[in-house]
């Protein structure tokens, strides 16, 4: 099935920010575009705004003046749905209410031809439910663009339960012809991105509720150690706490209150107090010209030990050994054939420095300081440390000094099973494998969606493979033992993938 022919008009119903963005994408791709809005005058205003954006693209050298003139000539604001007859595709971007969308598409069915593709840009409603009101639901798909639509490449092409394969394929091909990167997925709460991304927010909120660290420190650790572009607290302030909490609650309720998707009480209180983030001037952080930036907790400078002892293998953190030696610190290696698993670094004071596990550090056999998982220990500029109650201040100072000698800032947090980066990444890996196992989308599309939709440094499936799925599953089993609610129990999809990995 080929993409919609460029001669075929595309209609966009709903002319807010998202509707205008989608219209601009179709227009620049070469289609005639018709704009309609139920509010009189809005479509005309939207057409003027789109034309102004085309002018800015010309000024920036991103659009040829002749192409701009041609595009503007193809743009038409219309006053009624009847004027959308003859369109090959209608994309809806109206209020996120099921009844409103259903009524709109029922009205459209009496206007457009039988081969017209109907699409919703919904991010929170069921594509199947919207199509349930139609007499011909087979031609109905989800085309979920990300804001701003002209800039962000990802489009989730969502097949409802009644969507015909030919309709989904045509929608996919059309989005690709428009210069987008489409991914295909089944109609599931949150589709790919909003489903798989829930732990990125949820685990940070959980760590904060447990008083492991303040928001600025959690954000800094996930950025500077985990490699994420924005921390979850600053990101939800940008999105809007009400918007992010509503999506979380919608997904949780759609999954019949599955504990894996449980919303945060701390975020609910923020929304109730109308501290919604940047748009209200206050969220997790305060905003304003004279408001100082919240700073993460960073340990004071400490002396690095002259030498350490490596006992066993560090596996996921093996790169640290070379970094320590490059910093001029001697690493003595245990010669025993019965190397411990997992291994650790023994500090001069006798405490163990070990990669985080899913178990409580207070339950370790020996006094232990845990360090968090990093995307790349060589490029990470910060690391989080947590100690058990038996570790002395001197031992902690040695650990801090060791990482500082590697050019990294150290944030000492309150011990919590799984810490920050490791728990977040393990849950993202689990959610991604669950989505693949349930045939929400294939593995490549899941990783592509998470990289392009929310700018993750790695797709969670690729990340899990590099860590080792057996390790991820065991890590989550250990966290589950600490919190036996079901939230952290590895999904059947992850367990299967881990077993397949173990068996080659």
The catalytic residue positions are 123, 144, 156, 194
Half-sphere exposure of 377 (CA within 13 A, CB side): 19
Q: Which residues contact 221 (CB under 8 A, 6 or more apart)?
A: 213, 231, 296, 372, 382, 383, 384, 411, 413, 420, 421
Task: Give dist(CA 347, CA 309) in Å, integer.
Answer: 7
Q: How large is the C-alpha radius of gyration of the chain?
A: 26
**What would the DSSP string read from start to end of 42-70?**
HHHHHHHHHHHHHHHHHHTTSS-HHHHHH
Q: Is the peptide bond before 33 cis (omega within 30 degrees of 0)?
A: no
Residue 418: which region, alpha, beta or left (left: phi > 0; alpha: psi -120 to 50)? left
β-pairing, 117-120 vs 140-145, is: parallel
Decide: residue 169, CB within 10 A, 0-12 exposed, 13-18 middle, 19+ buried: middle
Contact in structure between 240 and 274 (CB atoms under 8 Å): no
**368 three-class SS:** strand
Contact in structure between 459 and 451 (CB atoms under 8 Å): yes
For the chain, report the end-to-end CA distance as a whole number of angstroms.
Answer: 37
Sign of CA dihedral 429, 432, 436, 442: negative
Task: Give dist(CA 86, CA 14) in Å, integer.
Answer: 18
Q: What is the 3-state secondary structure (H, E, C) of 186-240?
A: ECCCCCCHHHHCHHHHHHHHHHHHCCCCCHHHHHHHHHHCCCCCCCHHHHHHHHC
Beta bridge partners of 286: 282
Which value, to the nearest 10 degrees, does the dihedral of the CA atoms of residues 4, 8, 13, 15 take?
A: 100
Residue 356: which region, alpha, beta or left (left: phi > 0; alpha: psi -120 to 50)? beta
How does DSSP classify residue 360? -
Q: Which residues contact 500 (CB under 8 A, 6 or more apart)?
A: none
Q: Which two tokens stand for residue 87?
A: 């369109």
Task: Give dist(CA 326, CA 382) in Å, integer.
Answer: 18
CA 52 to chain centre: 32
Nearest to 47 by CA among 35, 55, 58, 59: 35
């Amino acid at each position: 099935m080929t993409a919609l022919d460029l001669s075929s008009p595309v209609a966009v119903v709903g002319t807010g920010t998202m509707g205008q963005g989608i219209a601009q994408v179709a227009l620049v791709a070469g289609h005639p575009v018709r704009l309609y809005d139920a509010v009189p005058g809005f479509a005309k205003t939207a057409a003027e705004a789109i034309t102004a954006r085309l002018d800015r693209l010309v000024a920036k050298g991103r659009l040829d003046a002749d192409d701009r003139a041609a595009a503007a000539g193809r743009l038409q604001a219309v006053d009624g749905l009847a004027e959308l007859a003859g369109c090959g595709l209608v994309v809806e971007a109206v209020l996120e209410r099921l009844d409103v969308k259903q009524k709109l598409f029922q009205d459209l069915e009496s206007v457009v031809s039988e081969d017209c593709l109907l699409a919703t840009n919904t991010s929170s409603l069921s594509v199947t439910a919207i199509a349930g009101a139609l007499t011909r639901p087979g031609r109905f798909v989800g085309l979920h663009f990300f804001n701003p639509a002209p800039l962000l490449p990802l489009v989730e092409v969502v097949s409802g339960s009644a969507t015909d394969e030919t309709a989904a394929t045509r929608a996919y091909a059309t989005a690709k012809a428009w210069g987008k990167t489409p991914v295909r997925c089944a109609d599931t709460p949150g589709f790919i991105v909003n489903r798989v991304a829930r732990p990125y927010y949820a685990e940070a909120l959980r760590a904060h509720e447990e008083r492991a660290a303040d928001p600025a420190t959690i954000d800094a650790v996930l950025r500077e150690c985990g490699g994420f572009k924005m921390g979850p607290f600053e990101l939800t302030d940008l999105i809007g706490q009400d918007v992010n909490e509503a999506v979380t609650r919608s997904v949780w309720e759609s999954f019949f209150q599955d504990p894996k998707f449980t919303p945060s009480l701390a975020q609910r209180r923020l929304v109730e107090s109308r501290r919604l983030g940047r748009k209200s001037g206050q969220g997790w952080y305060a905003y304003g010209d004279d408001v100082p930036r919240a700073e993460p907790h960073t340990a004071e400078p400490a002396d690095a030990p002259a030498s350490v002892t490596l006992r066993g293998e560090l596996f996921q953190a093996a790169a640290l050994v070379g970094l320590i030696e490059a910093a001029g610190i001697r690493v003595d290696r245990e010669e025993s054939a019965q190397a411990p698993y997992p291994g650790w670094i023994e500090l001069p004071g006798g405490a163990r420095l070990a990669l985080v596990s899913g178990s409580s550090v207070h339950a370790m056999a020996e006094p232990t300081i845990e360090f968090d998982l990093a995307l790349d220990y060589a490029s990470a500029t910060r690391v989080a440390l947590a100690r058990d109650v038996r570790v002395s201040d001197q031992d902690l100072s040695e650990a801090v000094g060791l990482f500082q000698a590697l050019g990294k800032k150290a944030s000492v947090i309150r011990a919590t099973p799984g810490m920050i980066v490791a728990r977040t990444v393990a849950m993202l890996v689990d959610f991604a494998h669950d989505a693949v196992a349930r045939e929400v989308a294939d593995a490549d599309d899941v990783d592509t969606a998470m990289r392009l939709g929310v700018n993750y440094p790695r797709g969670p499936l690729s990340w899990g493979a590099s860590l080792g799925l057996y390790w991820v599953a065991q890590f989550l089993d250990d966290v589950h033992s600490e919190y036996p609610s079901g939230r952290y129990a590895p999904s059947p999809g992850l367990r299967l993938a881990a077993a397949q990995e173990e068996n080659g």
